[in-house]
Amino acid sequence: MRFIPVSCEQRETMLHVVGARTVDDLFEVIPEDVRLSRPLALPRGMSEIELADELEGLAASNTSGLVSFLGGGCYDHYIPAIVDSMVSKPEFFTAYTPYQPEISQGTLQAIYEYQSMVCALTGMDVANASMYDGATAFVEAALMAARVTKRDKVVVSAAVHPEWREVLTTYAESGMIEVVTCPVADGRTDMVALEELAADAAAVLVTSPAFLGGIEDVAAIAGLAHAAGALLVVGTNPILLGVMEAPGNLGADIVVGEGQPLGSAMSFGGPGLGLFACRQQFIRQMPGRLAGRTTDVDGRPGFVLTMQTREQHIRREKATSNICSNHALNALAAGVYLASVGSVGLAGIARACVAKAHYLHDALIKTGRFTTVNDVPFAHEFALRYDGDVSAMQHTLLERGYLAGLDLHRFSDDYNNVVLFAVTEKRTRAQMDRFLEEVASL
């Protein structure tokens, strides 16, 4: 396949105008010793028909159609049909960052509306649409807290997703911030340890629910953080905010989260969407693009990218972040998703997730094969200890068509025999009952 609409004859015309005999003449500006003198060692090109066949083959060699209880930061929620239909409009997906607002009002208004929805969900004043995923939004929040407080120690709860903590540690390696980990007690942040560690901290970083599903006492953590002069960063799950109190109402200063559940496919873990929202007073220290409403020279309302002096293309090494993405297409999906469910639908979906998770949780314990790890309140994800070989159990259930949760041993030896189950609104009672029968038969 080729996507070049210039004919051979036109190419000759163009060469003539340029004053070159062949196209290769134009590459003579490249020193000869670094010019590639052989073809690239890549397979030959192919027609769309052949390509479609190959891609279908690759996709088909992924097992699909499994009944999944896998979560751990990526969730199998229903995506309304309208979402992909809107996201597939080429005026949106073939556009770039809205640098020219006069012809980018669609992207800009969609982002403004998305920002408004994220503020409504999180209880915050301002939100951006820029972050890559929950993990990197979490890190940006830590860096921002360091700028706001002019301190460099951040305290992260060990109850946070291990991959989020790993990304934070990777970034911190450069010495910009020092990461201190607060231990867990019963699957949640250890409040006694936190009180001591929070002294002189720029930020206290938690997620609620925590990685193992437990819901944190965010208000109490906020009290400890603020008493120490630290900001509170709370990672959240946006679907659950349909029924869970907004972190902003519990004292959070920056709220982040993985926005994939809002209308983005799991897609093997990416692209996700980093939710990022904060209080108005910190706006000048925010990373990322912001869309704002204003008027044009004729007085019509319109939207622009704003507060740009924070950013790398103007402030260069003094920028609030190097980020220049504007995660607009996933933000668009999230906006369409939230508009399509509304607060009533979102609450209903979140309630279904919670009710089904509690149903499965109680029933799994009744099978006699699982026991409680932490007796703490949870929403749609929970950890249980299995009384046998987790890997063998999962393998057997996979053969019967189930993704039987996440074996947490992959993250730490502390989690031997611990399995994390996530239940979304897509799981039916019938699926769960059959799954429970399989578990009981092991």
Q: Report 294-333 residues binding another protein (CB under 8 A).
A: 294-298, 300-304, 306-309, 311-319, 321-330, 332
Please enumerate in sequence order all residues whose Cβ is within 8 A of that of 49, keeping only pairs 6 or more positions apart, or say none: none
Rounded least distance, CB 358 to another protein, Å: 5
The pairing of strands 201-207 and 231-236 is parallel
Of 204 and 228, nearer to another protein (C-beta) is 204
In the DSSP assignment, the letter for residue 216 is: P
Of 157 and 208, nearer to another protein (C-beta) is 208
- Cα 202 to chain centroid, rounded: 23
216 and 189 Cβ atoms separated by less than 8 Å: yes
Backbone torsion region of residue 313, taken as left when φ is above 0, otherwise alpha when ψ lies between -120 and 50, otherwise beta: alpha
Determine, following the binding rule CB under 8 A, whether residue 442 of this chain makes contact with another protein: no
Q: Count residues binding another protein (CB under 8 A).
A: 210
Of 228 and 241, nearer to another protein (C-beta) is 241
Binds another protein (CB under 8 A): choice among 67, 77, 86, 205: 86
Of 107 and 228, nearer to another protein (C-beta) is 107
How many Å apart are CA 59 and CA 163, to the nearest integer?
A: 26
Rounded least distance, CB 198 to another protein, Å: 21
436 and 367 Cβ atoms separated by less than 8 Å: yes
Q: Would you tell me how many other CB atoms lie within 10 Å of the CB of residue 419?
A: 23
How many Å apart are CA 349 and CA 242, to the nearest integer?
A: 8
Determine, following the binding rule CB under 8 A, whether residue 8 of this chain makes contact with another protein: no
Of 87 and 228, nearer to another protein (C-beta) is 87
Q: Which of residues 201-220 bind another protein (CB under 8 A)?
A: 208, 215, 217-218
Of 162 and 387, nearer to another protein (C-beta) is 162
Rounded least distance, CB 352 to another protein, Å: 5
Position 42, amino acid: L
Q: Which of residues 144-203 bind another protein (CB under 8 A)?
A: 161, 163-164, 166-167, 169-171, 173-176
Position 336, amino acid: V
Handedness of CA 386, 389, 391, 397 (dihedral sign): negative
Stretch of 67-75, 150-158, 194-202, 366-374 contacting another protein, by CB under 8 A: 67-75
Position 230, amino acid: A
Q: What string marks each residue from 90 to 129 as x (binds another protein by CB under 8 A) or -?
A: xxxxxxxxxxxxxxxxxx-xxxxx-xxx-xxx---xxx--
Determine, following the binding rule CB under 8 A, whether residue 36 of this chain makes contact with another protein: yes
Binds another protein (CB under 8 A): choice among 210, 234, 254, 379: 379
Determine, following the binding rule CB under 8 A, whether residue 246 of this chain makes contact with another protein: yes
H/E run at residue 330: helix 328-366
How many Å apart are CA 208 and CA 221, to the nearest integer?
A: 11
